[in-house]
Chain A
Amino acid sequence: MLLTVWVISIISFVLIQLPPGDYVTNLVSEMMAQGADKISPEVVSALREQYGLNDPVYVQYFKWIRNIVLEGDFGYSLTFKRDAVEIIMERLPMTFILTSASVIFIWAVALPVGIFSAVKQYSIADYVATFVGFIGLAVPNFLFALILMYLSYKYGGKALIGLFSEQYANAPWSWDKFLDLLNHLWIPVIIIGTAGTAGLIRTMRANLLDELNRPYVDAARAKGLPETRLIWKYPVRYALNPFVSTIGWVLPQLVAGEVIVSIVLNLPTSGPVLFNALMDQDMFVAAGFILVLSALTVVGTFISDVLLAVLDPRIRLA
């Protein structure tokens, strides 16, 4: 596991360095874009020296990884002028709230609908559920976000941008702030959720259909088990297998998947920060983020393995 993370760290750091230019070129072009165009070349080279950008890539990488391992220091955000780790940690909680809310939403919708679709295969209800799910999958997230934003502006009289109203944005946590969050949270959750549900509905439906045609189901039915109990006791449990084995992917997927939505809706999550860090060549923040996300994936995969073993005795015995 550690080896994987280490390799990922090298790849991510090198990848970030690959595009031409660095933070200073970006800074200069930003000033230039504003018309402050009298930046002397001496200043530019002094800036590079100050930020340690004159070293070769492997030296920069070595410094970075050494500080992480020895001091837990993820480097320094050139954009925010603070520790990269602070920037990452400030955004992660909000990201987790959004992610978990979305996951709960996806599962809460996809599981029952998937089971229902399988049990009532080819019924009107199955078609409707499938159709709605596919629409959700097919509409691009950003478009859906824009439409919802526009509708809330047009008919609700307020544009639901961000996760907090202005007065709560930098306020300490309180009950009112939490309610304010819920008031804003449903839009991104629905947007991110609809995209995920369709896939899961299909997976659930297909797996369950496989299980339902197994002999043990017929045997149970012949023995006169009630239908509900019959379905929930074993087939659903086995059909959950793919869900559980992909938990490890859920975390990074949702973080990556919400980037566009967060940009459009202006959410204070890690997606936009990562995106901007890549755009601005703020390399320590970008590399730090990628490292943290990769570590999460590795940890998540490990959790899936453990859960699978708990869930499905066949795996334990294999």
Chain B
Amino acid sequence: MRKFSFVFLLTLLLALMGTTVLSQDMMYNESPMLAAQVEAGELPAVEERLPSNPTVVTPLNEVGQYGGAMRVGFVGDNPGWGGMWYVAGWENLVSWAPDFSGIVPNIAESWEISDDVREYTFHLREGMKWSDGEPFTADDIMFYIEDVLFNEELTIGGPTADWLPREGADEFTAEKIDDYTVKFTFANPYGTFLFTLAQWNGRHMTWFPKHWLSQYHADYNENVDELVAQEDGVENWVGLFNKMASGPTDDTNNYFNIIGRPLLFPWIPSTVLGGNTQMNMVRNPYYFKVDTEGNQLPYIDELVGVSYQDNEARTLAMINGDLDYVKDPGDNRILYFDAMDSGAPINISAAISDGGNTNSIQFNRNTEDPAIAEMFQDINFRIGMSYAINREEIIEIVHLGQGTPAQVAPLESSPLYNEQLATQYVEYDVDSANEYLDMVIPDRGDDGYRLSPDGEPMTLIFTVPNNLSYGSNWVQVAELLIGYWDAVGVRVQLNSIADDQFTEQYESNNIQITMYTGEGGAGLTGMLDPRYYVPGELFGLYGNGWYFWYVNSQEATQVEPPEEIQAIRRQFEEVGRQPSQEAQVEAMKEILQIAADNFWVIGISRPGPGFQPYNTRIGNQPSEWIAGWIEGVQKIKYPEQWYIIE
């Protein structure tokens, strides 16, 4: 395989997971918990449970020991999104190297890519098994492609999937070469397919155990209606299949609500949430990975997921040592550090955000009032609004002095770095702000506020989601912004709402100005998640209607993009079709230059490191790591090699 090297700001002291260690001549060890079951005749021997060539994971610091239970705390009734997904899930055909430097084999042992990057051949691991002991083979992948993706009842409106480019989706074909080999052929070149597979988007490939799910599929079981009648909350076989498969409709709660569904994950659910505030997971005896000494992973025997109703109670439990891990610890940085200094049993690792910015400020060009929309489309307006922002003050007040003023852009360490995009218009300069705003909305009313382009008094609405677990300080930022804009005569009103209302608002095009995350910073993330560089992506709320036009939904909100926008999108599609990474980067750089010239969104600052508390009991934790959605949040730290130090 090609090793990619993109240099990061930090050279992480992480060894690359060994991919070339020959494991055939290994002796395998297993957890005492499983050894006892083998002894009792309940399980086959470890050699028979592992594939002939298991995936070898190099432990971060040292070879761990078996046993124990790790307690993960989450807020609410959703274990998956609350944290379990990123620890006990996310096993795709390929993975990220732990330092995010490229792709390494995971479920797939190896692969070949054709020169025109249209054909991908994946080799699976011989003897690999689902958590119920049944073989995992090419048939399972084919079942997904043929019976789910191309089944018109399960996938409505033709084959659509996160990993499948919309253009030419119908012509995509998959072919089973033998039990352990599948070949995918795409209609167009698809140079970024492996990156896509390593992310959340690639989850479906290894998500569907054919031997178990076919009983819920009408094509395989003509008596499926009897099962439908027995199952609560479903009215037809499609509902039943989706419930059992947790997909393709993706209501991923199901994973943690159904016991006995075959999985490939390191831990599988053993009790579900409901009557109590706790759910449990137990190690998967057939998990396909070993460490460098042939110990079957994971090291930790059990996971306990504890549901809290309130982050403060969870924080107290964490500081008190009643928990080992929490995702999104909230705004309690100082509390955690103080507790650590005063001897609480916690360590803290730095989450180096892969984001291009702390926030993106977006002006919806498709907003309903044509005069306002036209104003938002005028680059001088956005330049003026950007100069008006005192970024140093926001960093000082909200981000505790962490970070530097910047626009939303790839980081300096990224091969995609574009200086103009990152640094233009970030100075705090009220005079320039007024100068640029005067070019667009020069007239002021009696109260000193600027009038709208058609001469009316104007109050812009700034819609901010206020309850996202990772957006705890957004409203603070928004309030400061409103003050800065007020000072240059633009009257803005804060509309702070809960995230589900926010969804409603942008789906119905009720957004004027809004604020969201700033994806696209580290490495190639700017190419993999280009929402702030290429208009018409989901959450590119500056072109809200364009996105809905592209995916053909929310008809009332759809706006056909003008030709120059469509041209940019066509050009972006070419990026993914480049055969080599160098060519992809080159093509993406052109897109980023277009983004720099158009100045789609305003950014605030480069994020400082986030913090991740964990209990001192947990070993093999990095002191810092690249954190983000694309990396699988915690998954890039390979939780299967964490262990409990007792």
Contacts and interface: CB of A to CB of B under 8 A. Distances in A.
Contacts of A82: 232, 257, 274
A125 interface: no
A150 B317 CA distance: 11
Contact of B251 (A21, A35, A47): A47
A161 interface: yes
B562 interface: no
Contact of B81 (A34, A37, A158): A34
Given A40-B551, A42-B156, A146-B312, A31 B501 contact: no
A265 B312 CA distance: 10
Interface stretch (B46-54, B236-244, B288-296, B411-419): B236-244
Interface in A25-49: 25-47
A265 B278 contact: no
A166 interface: yes
B230 interface: no
A64 to B, nearest CB: 12
A36 B157 contact: no
Q: Chain B at the A interface: mostly helix, strand, loop or mixed?
A: loop
B310 A264 contact: yes
Contact of A268 (B162, B234, B235, B277): B277
17 contacts: A25-B503, A31-B250, A32-B503, A38-B162, A41-B554, A45-B156, A81-B243, A81-B258, A90-B274, A153-B319, A159-B316, A263-B310, A264-B309, A264-B310, A266-B310, A275-B309, A276-B77
A51 to B, nearest CB: 8
Contacts of A273: 77
A266 B308 contact: yes
Interface of B: 71, 76-78, 81, 85, 155-157, 160, 162, 200-201, 232-235, 238-239, 242-243, 248-254, 257-258, 271-278, 280, 304, 306-310, 312-313, 316-317, 319-320, 322, 468-470, 499-504, 517, 519, 538-539, 548, 551-554, 628-629
Contacts of A94: 275
B629 A80 contact: no
Q: Chain A at the B interface: mostly helix, strand, loop or mixed?
A: helix
Contact of B280 (A20, A52, A170): A170
A146 B311 CA distance: 12
B276 A169 contact: yes
Given A81-B243, A161-B316, A266-B307, 17 more contacts: A25-B500, A29-B502, A30-B81, A31-B250, A32-B539, A34-B81, A34-B629, A35-B519, A36-B629, A40-B551, A47-B249, A80-B77, A81-B254, A158-B320, A161-B317, A166-B322, A264-B313
A45 B258 CA distance: 24
A51 B243 CA distance: 10
A37 B630 CA distance: 11
Contact of A87 (B78, B248, B274): B274
A247 B504 CA distance: 43
A38 B238 CA distance: 22
A265 B109 CA distance: 48
A149 interface: yes
A238 interface: no
A266 B313 contact: yes
Contacts of A150: 316
A170 B273 contact: no
Given A81-B254, A81-B258, A266-B308, A29 B313 contact: no
Given A21-B504, A28-B503, A159 B322 contact: yes
Nearest to A162: B277
Contact of B500 (A29, A78, A267): A29
A272 interface: yes
B277 A169 contact: yes
